[in-house]
Structure 1
Amino acid sequence: MTNPTLDHDSSILIVGAGTWGCSTALHLARRGYREVRVLDPFVVPSPIAAGNDVNKIMEHKEFKENYQDAKAIAVATFSRAALKGWKTDPVFTPYFHETGFILAASDPGLIAYLKKEEIDPMQADFQNLQTPSEFRSTMLSGVLTGEFPGWRGWVSYKDAGWIHARKGIISAATEAQRLGVNFITGSPQGHVIELVYQDGDVKGAKTADGKLHLADHTILAAGAGSDQLLDFEKQLRPTAWTISHIKLTPEEARRYRNLPVLYNPGMGFFIEPDEDKHELKICDEHPGYCNFVADWQRPGEERSKPFAKEQIPLEAEARARRFLQDTMPHLADRPLSFARICWDADTVDRRFLIDRHPDYTSLVVAVGGSGNGAMQMPSIGGFIVDALEGKLQDEVRDVIRWRPQLAINRDWYATQNRHGGRHEVMNLQDIKDDEWTCFQ
């Protein structure tokens, strides 16, 4: 099939107003497309969008010249473009905090793995951290008070830190609207319940109010909810992680400003306090939670279906507190002020899925953030528009293509090289009602 005509007067519909949807809308408007609509069941920022968060890690991976891994090169291409956007695009620059990044582990096997796979191939100017005092010296006195038992790590202060993801999404959507993009949000008017098929192609979407939103081109960027609208042939697995906050005093928040991100992929991570609410975000690390229910597309099979919840399993809270015991024991018993499960969609190889659908030539899929989607916010929309225009660069096209052949025998419980927790993918169906956090 030949691709449908595309010009600046073509009507383009984006399903999803999360990180990638808003970025795509912005890039379409900047390239001169005049008929762009965005549908989402929630007003920006959506409470279920993975990027609706006070902060996310931003880390650029630039590999050494002799490194030949195609997937790693694609990762570097994406993160390089994102970093440039965070540093130079006025829509996003206020929300990037280049505070540095600490990568560490306490398990000997994981320490060796990180050195071989993450540190040795990279060009980053890492400094070794071998002792508790060396870890504590990376931050102001009194912040890191733990003993760091068995910890080894590396710190880099260049091209890494954190982003205020929620404010970034709002900024992108605001600028896209200023440039003429039409956002239709809220339920039922923005709630897409199905794609519209005509003449063997996707011609838009139907919303819960019964309205058909027809378009020359449709871009599906609904994050973890995307596979409720299209059969991805097992390429997507909605997976959830657990976020918790603790409240700091205004004085503590001032003292904890501009801290490097501390990330132990076997235990957890924290990022400096939110400047508005003075809340410190701590996440425990694990291979993820899924919510396995009956698959409406394949009778007899199960799939993970996302849902919103501003609570986390008690076991996740306990893991977060164990992480604090190692690093900041003076905060380990402080009550949580907020928590939620945060959904993303894992591809089978944890690489993005951005491509024109092979059977529906008017449809572009832009999904599969796989835990790394939010930091791509300034630039990912440009790659998605490149896919729409057929201009994706060679070093990324093959890596992010439609690839169901990789998922034919997919193991839904595969940890996908993630660590921590019970070292297994967990099922939220197994969490009883009284095994969730509860806030007054």
Structure 2
Amino acid sequence: MTTPSPNESSSILIVGAGTWGCSTALHLVRRGYKNVTVLDPYPVPSSIAAGNDVNKIMEHKELKGPDTDARSIAFATCTRAALGGWTNDPVFKQYFHETGFIVSGSTPEIIQHIKQEDIETSQGDFIALETAEDFRKTMPPGVLTGEFPGWKGWFSQKGAGWIHARKAMISAYTEAKCLGAKFITGTPHGNVVALVYEAGDIIGARTADDVIHRADHTILAAGAGSDRLLDFKKQLRPTAWTLSHIQMTAEESQLYSNLPVLFNVAKGFFMEPDEDEHQLKICDEHPGYCNFIQDPNNAGEMKSIPFAKEQIPLEAEARAREFLRDTMPHLAERPFVFARICWDADTPDRAFLIDQHPDHPSLIVAVGGSGNGAMQMPTIGGFIVDALEGKLSKELKDVVRWRPELAVNRDWKSTQNRFGGPNKLMDFQDVKNDKWTQI
């Protein structure tokens, strides 16, 4: 089965107005497409979009050595392009803060893992941090007051820092809309309840108001919610992480401004307070949470179903405070003023999934951020449009292709090479109702 190649007059339907959906809409209209429609059940920025956040990590490492695996090369290609966008694209550059990035661990095993997997395989200006004093010197006096027990790390000052994800997503949405993209958001008009099939292909989507939005080409970019609209043959696992905010004064925010991101791969990370609310974001690090229930379409199979919640498990709060006791004990008991769970979708190998569907040629899937999607915002839409136009480079296409063979007998409880917490994937079904924060 073949489908006509897209042209500027083709109707393009994007399901999902999050980070990747807004980026794709922007790149389509920048290339001259005149009939672009985006559907989402929530106004931009969506309350459930992973990219609706005050800050996200942006990190790019140039690889070295001839034996680097294809997935790492493809990811480096994407992040290199993204860094160029964050640095030069007027839609995005004001939201990138190149403050630097510290990657660290606090057990010998994890420190060795970081050294082998990140430092030795990458080119960069890494400065080794061997002592608590080394860590403290990366920030102004009074910020890092902890003892950093057992910690060792590496500080990179260029090509890394953080992005204001929410403002960048709104900027992409605003520019795409100005250039002609049409956004239909809110329930029921933007709430896609099903993809629409005709003669074995997908010809659009049906929304909750029972309207069928027909299109020559459909792009499914609904993040962790994509799995409910299409059978991904076990290639997607909706997985959630936990974040919390501490209120700072205006004076404290000034002291904590322009700080490098401090990331311990098994304990957590923090980024400087946002400029509007003066809230410091703290995340505990762990392999993730799923919400496993019986798959209604497949007897005997479990499926992770996302849900929205502006609370986190008490065990996540305890982990976040443990991270603070190591690094900033003067903040460790300060109340959290905000918390929520944040969903993404993991592929089996944590590489992105951007490809034409093998059975439905008018459908492009653009999913599988696997915890690294937001940093790609300026340019990921360009790669998605490349896939639509059949122009995706071979080094990327081979890695981000439709690949259900990797999901055969998939271990849904896999940690996917992540660390922290109990060092196992957790299940929200095991968190009792009274074991959540009450903020």
Q: Distance in 2 between matches of 1:124 and 1:370?
A: 24
Alignment of 1:116-155 (within 5 A): 116-155=116-155
Q: What corresponds to 1:359 in structure 2?
A: 359
Contact 1:313-1:435 within 8 A present in 2 as well = yes
Q: Distance in 2 between matches of 1:65 and 1:349?
A: 21
Q: Distance in 1 between matches of 2:198 and 2:96?
A: 43
Q: Distance in 1 between matches of 2:91 and 2:56?
A: 17
State the shift of 1:67 in Å. 4.1
Q: What corresponds to 1:314 in structure 2?
A: 314
Q: What corresponds to 1:75 in structure 2?
A: 75
Unmatched 5+ stretches in structure 1: none
Q: Distance in 1 between matches of 2:281 and 2:403?
A: 35
Q: What corresponds to 2:349 in structure 1?
A: 349
2:51 pairs with 1:47 = no
Contact 2:247-2:336 within 8 A present in 1 as well = yes
SS in 2 for 1:54: coil
State the shift of 1:124 in Å. 1.1
SS in 1 for 2:400: coil
> Match of 1:427, as an amino acid?
D
Q: Distance in 1 between matches of 2:364 and 2:75?
A: 20
State the shift of 1:197 in Å. 0.4
> Match of 1:355, as an amino acid?
D
Alignment of 1:20-419 (within 5 A): 20-419=20-419
Deviations 1:219-252 (A, max 9, x none): 0000000010000000000000000000001100
State the shift of 1:64 in Å. 1.1
Q: Distance in 1 between matches of 2:284 and 2:308?
A: 18
Q: Distance in 2 between matches of 1:156 and 1:220?
A: 35
Contact 1:16-1:39 within 8 A present in 2 as well = yes
SS in 2 for 1:399: helix
Contact 1:103-1:155 within 8 A present in 2 as well = yes
Q: What corresponds to 2:437 in structure 1?
A: 437
State the shift of 1:4 in Å. 2.4
SS in 2 for 1:116: helix
CA 1:220 to 1:12, structure 2 compared with 1: closer, same or farther past 3 Å?
same
The runs of 4+ residues in structure 1 deviating greater than 3 Å are none
SS in 1 for 2:63: coil
State the shift of 1:294 in Å. 1.3
Deviations 1:10-31 (A, max 9, x none): 0000000000000000000000
SS in 2 for 1:141: coil
Deviations 1:387-434 (A, max 9, x none): 000000111111000000000110000000000000000000111110
SS in 1 for 2:81: helix
Q: Report which stretch shifted further, 253-262 or 295-304.
A: 295-304
> Match of 1:236, as an amino acid?
L
What percentage of aligned pairs have identical amino acids? 69
> Match of 2:143, as an amino acid?
V
SS in 2 for 1:219: strand
> Match of 1:386, as an amino acid?
D
Deviations 1:34-62 (A, max 9, x none): 00000000000001000000000000021
Q: Distance in 2 between matches of 1:234 and 1:297?
A: 13
SS in 2 for 1:398: helix
2:12 pairs with 1:12 = yes
Unmatched 5+ stretches in structure 2: none
Deviations 1:306-331 (A, max 9, x none): 00000000000000000000000000
What is the TM-score when the length of structure 1 is the normalising length?
Answer: 0.99
Q: Distance in 1 between matches of 2:370 and 2:303?
A: 16
State the shift of 1:3 in Å. 3.0
Q: Distance in 1 between matches of 2:68 and 2:254?
A: 44
SS in 1 for 2:128: strand
Query: How many residues of Structure 1 are paired with residues of Structure 2 in the alignment?
Result: 439
Q: Distance in 1 between matches of 2:57 and 2:347?
A: 20
SS in 2 for 1:325: helix
Contact 1:235-1:403 within 8 A present in 2 as well = yes
State the shift of 1:297 in Å. 2.4
State the shift of 1:140 in Å. 0.2
Contact 2:13-2:217 within 8 A present in 1 as well = yes
> Match of 1:372, as an amino acid?
N
Q: Report which stretch shifted further, 251-260 or 68-77.
A: 68-77
Q: Tell me the C-alpha RMSD between the 2 structures.
A: 0.6
> Match of 2:299, as an amino acid?
P
Q: Distance in 2 between matches of 1:67 and 1:382?
A: 28
State the shift of 1:299 in Å. 1.5
Q: Distance in 1 between matches of 2:318 and 2:161?
A: 26
Q: Distance in 1 between matches of 2:47 and 2:67?
A: 39
Contact 2:65-2:121 within 8 A present in 1 as well = no
